[in-house]
A and B are shown apart, each in its own frame.
Chain A
Amino acid sequence: MQVLKRKTLALVGNHAVAYAVKQSKPQVLAVFPITPQTTMLEKISEYIASEELKAELIKVESEHSALASIYGAALAGARVFTATSSQGLLYMTEMIYWAGGQRIPIVAAVATRAIAEPWSIWDDHQDFLSKRDAIWVQMMAENVQEAYDMTIQAFRISEDERVILPVMMGFDGFILTHTMERIEVLEDGEVDNFLPPRQFNLIDFSDPIGVGPIATPEDYIKYRYEAMKAMVRAKGVIEEVMNEYERISGRKQNGLVECYKCEDAKYVFVTMGAWSGDGKVAVDRLRNAGIEAGLLKIRVFRPFPKEKIEEYLRSMKGVIVLDRAYSYGSGGILANEIKATLYGYRVPVYSVIAGIGGKDVRPRHFQKVIEDLINDNLEEERWLL
């Protein structure tokens, strides 16, 4: 593959996503300030004020209205975007389900953050994962580069006629939103080619329909069945879109999951989001110490890539799932998904809950749990307090 000399920029995560949004040319946006997403909203406002992005920015009075207004704009044919975090995502929740249930192409960036009470502005995944049943495609970036790439891909996936679903791009609050990294960006024209104009509009005066009326029980379940099938189709489309993006960008995209030294591994971490980077450092150190460690990074959480995960993990000696979100009274959310995926295989799955409310997690924490596992000293569920 011919590798072009790419334009590189030093951007914090929020600005990288704003840049990707600008290049994706949404026509209508609505955002409401909340830490740690706010600087993205400010950057977008600047782009629109300077007409670098020609779009309508609806300065709404709440997140509920932010999503409601772009819901309306999207069904009237506009490419749309919003961003939020934590309480804002919760405040949007009703409309999140509306957008998913109605299958409206929308892209939302979620700077992940812990949920009150008590107040916390720091990162975990409780907000993002609480939306797992809302019929949205959910992707999670590891670093600023991925946040940029995934934002552009999100529009393509969302608007693909085989999918037509809203897409949520998660990236860790502060860890990515406020960290400056060197990233490679596409040329504007390349993004234009990658993202053709949107073909979707439910408002037709020559053949008016009712969008979202009351459904009979016979119909309702069919709507949901169709949504389920769209999610299944989304898996293939996501891989296709990422492969195409890999070709034009010259950067490896990894599809639904990324396998880091896990092919020949005996013990594997499963992670999602920014701490996958720390996990990879830990894997390298463990390998140096002669331990056959690997890491499987979940890039797409919904649709959940069961087949890929099964393929990679079914013969491991031990799987340690790192969770930044917990289903109280049940278990680590990601761990539960992995356990369900590996049902029937004799693979021990351990759940480690860490980083809740921003609690620091370092490579040595990863190393410690794997060492404990090897020494038969790791309980089925451990909280790193």
Chain B
Amino acid sequence: MSSLVTPKRIPKFYRGNAACPGCPIPKELDVLLEVLGNKTVLVVPASCTTIIMGDTSGMPSTVPVIHSAFGAPAAIASGIVRALRTRGDKDVIVTVWAGDGSTGDIGFASLSGAAERNEDILYVCYDNEAYMNTGIQRSSLTPKGAWTTTTPEGKREFKKPLPFIIAEHKVPYVATASIAYIYDYEAKVRKAKQIRGFKYLHLLSPCPPGWRFDSKFTIDIAKLAVETGVWPLFEIENGEFRLTSVSKTLLDKKNRKPVTEYLKLQGRFKQLTEEEIKGIQEEIDEMWEEIKKLIKK
């Protein structure tokens, strides 16, 4: 039985932080810390979370938070874990908590370096699919077709497939997750906690102001991303690919909801033509054909 459902549980990540209404980050952090426990160090690069973490007068976190330069979190985490190891502190989970811009763009070299060295860290990318902290500019993880302030006509390029790129580094564990499927997310964090070496977790994080939706829809959108097949839930453990949770049922196309259900709730896709939406649907279907090939019979 998960402690999450106990109403009296004290949140590890306190209410009263500086997130926007409807932002999933506080809840995502709460789940993370609940599973990881108090011997966790969070490394947080420049992002929305920097602000959420409060200022010099205090912070909402129950564990140490090390703020990081935008491009450096995986390197800072590497240093922390090495230092703790030389001091004999072996049970501390050093965790990077980074946005998609830090992860896929400016910090990509340091992330790839740490993955290649198989540093004993957990790297969590919360993916709100743009640079939200600086006001919704595109990142390499913004999906094709999405409006941002720097792609007013809709982004023309594909979303960088980061979980697969990291998996190509042959790290022990890579997984995707969603705040709408908390038990799946929790299970993956729990698994990552047990594994030595580099663990990568990629969370899709719907962002009300950035994606242009009413803040009451955060969880609905997170859920639809999974149900339409836009955001498959999977894990790659020692090279073995496995779908998890409801995504297991989505290999069959007829179980997947049409992508319009996901797109229509978000203002960032409102300029898409029927033709473009059709294109997006086709790309999702193609992705699932690829996923089929990844699954060992």
Q: Nearest B residue to A208 by beta-carbon distance?
A: B64
- The answer, yes or no, to whether A69 is at the interface (CB within 8 Å) is yes
Contact A62 B110 (CB under 8 A): yes
Tell me whether A78 and B82 are in contact (CB under 8 A). yes
Within 8 A of B (CB), among A50-69: 55-56, 58-62, 64-66, 68-69
Cα-based distance from A66 to B56 in the complex (angstroms): 27
The interface-forming segment of B72-80, B97-105, B174-182, B247-255 is B72-80
Contact of A208 among B51, B65, B69, B110 (CB under 8 A): B65
In the complex, A219 Cα to B55 Cα: how many Å? 10
Partner of A69, one of B50, B55, B75: B75
Give the secondary structure class of B's interface: mixed
CB-nearest residue of chain A to B50 = A214
With a CB–CB cut-off of 8 A, which chain A residues contact B61? 208, 210
A72 and B80 form a contact (CB under 8 A): yes
* A61 close to B79 (CB less than 8 A): no
> Once bound together, how far apart are the Cα atoms of A119 and B272, in whole Å?
49
The number of residues on chain A lying at the interface, defined by a beta carbon within 8 Å of a beta carbon of chain B, is 42
Q: Quick check: A56 and B82 within 8 Å, CB to CB?
A: yes
Q: Which residues on B sit within 8 Å (CB–CB) of A214?
A: 50-51, 54-56
- Interface flag for B86 (CB, 8 Å): yes
Query: Chain B 80-111, CB within 8 Å of chain A: the 1/0 string?
Result: 10111111000010000000000000000110
A72–B64 CB distance below 8 A:
no
B112 neighbours in A (Cβ, 8 Å): 61
A68 / chain B contacts, CB cutoff of 8 Å: 68-69, 72, 75-76, 79, 110
Cβ contact within 8 Å between B109 and A95: no
Specify which chain B residues have a CB less than 8 angstroms from the CB of A98 in the assembled complex: 69
Contact A210 B79 (CB under 8 A): no
Report which of B39, B51, B65 forms a contact with A210, defined as CB distance below 8 A: B65
> B238 at the A/B interface (Cβ < 8 Å)?
no
Q: Point out the residues of chain A lying under 8 angstroms from B82, CB to CB.
A: 28, 56, 58, 69, 73, 78
CB contacts (< 8 Å) of A219 on chain B: these are 55-57
Contacts of B63 in A (CB 8 A): 205, 208
Known A-B contacts A55-B86, A214-B50; A69 and B109 likewise in contact (beta carbons under 8 Å) = no
Q: Nearest Cβ in chain A — how far from B143, in angstroms?
A: 28
Q: B19 within 8 Å of A by Cβ? A: no
Closest to B39 in A: A205
A71–B20 Cα distance when bound, in Å, is 31
- Contact at A203–B64, with CB atoms within 8 Å? yes
B113 in the interface (beta carbon within 8 A): yes
Q: A4 on the interface (CB 8 Å rule)?
A: no
How far is B50's CA from A211's CA once the two chains are assembled, in angstroms? Answer: 11
In the complex, what distance in Å separates the CA atom of A11 from the CA atom of B114?
A: 34
Check A62–B84 contact: CB distance below 8 A. no
**A73 and B55: CB pair below 8 A?**
no
Nearest chain B residue, comparing its CB with the CB of A62: B109
Residues of A within 8 A of B65 (CB): 208-211, 213
A155 to chain B, nearest CB (A): 16
Q: Which residue of A lies closest to B51 (CB)?
A: A214
Instruction: Report the minimum CB–CB distance from A212 to chain B (whole Å).
Output: 4
Taking the complex as formed, is B122 at the interface, i.e. its CB lies under 8 A from any CB of chain A?
Answer: no
Cβ A212 vs Cβ B66 within 8 A: yes
Set A69, A71, A95, A203: member contacting B41, Cβ < 8 A = A203
A27 interface residue (CB < 8 Å to B)? yes
Given A216-B57, A219-B56, do A64 and B66 touch, yes or no (CB 8 Å)?
A: no
On chain B, the residues within 8 Å of A65 by CB distance are 72, 74-75, 78, 109-110, 113
Q: Report the 8 A-B pairs with minimum CB-CB distance, sorted nearest first.
A: A72-B79, A61-B113, A73-B79, A65-B75, A68-B72, A69-B79, A78-B83, A68-B75
Binding site for B on A (CB under 8 A): 27-28, 30, 55-56, 58-62, 64-66, 68-78, 80, 94-95, 98, 202-205, 208-216, 219
Sample 8 A-B pairs with CB under 8 A, ordered by A number.
A61-B113, A77-B83, A78-B87, A94-B72, A210-B61, A211-B65, A213-B59, A214-B50
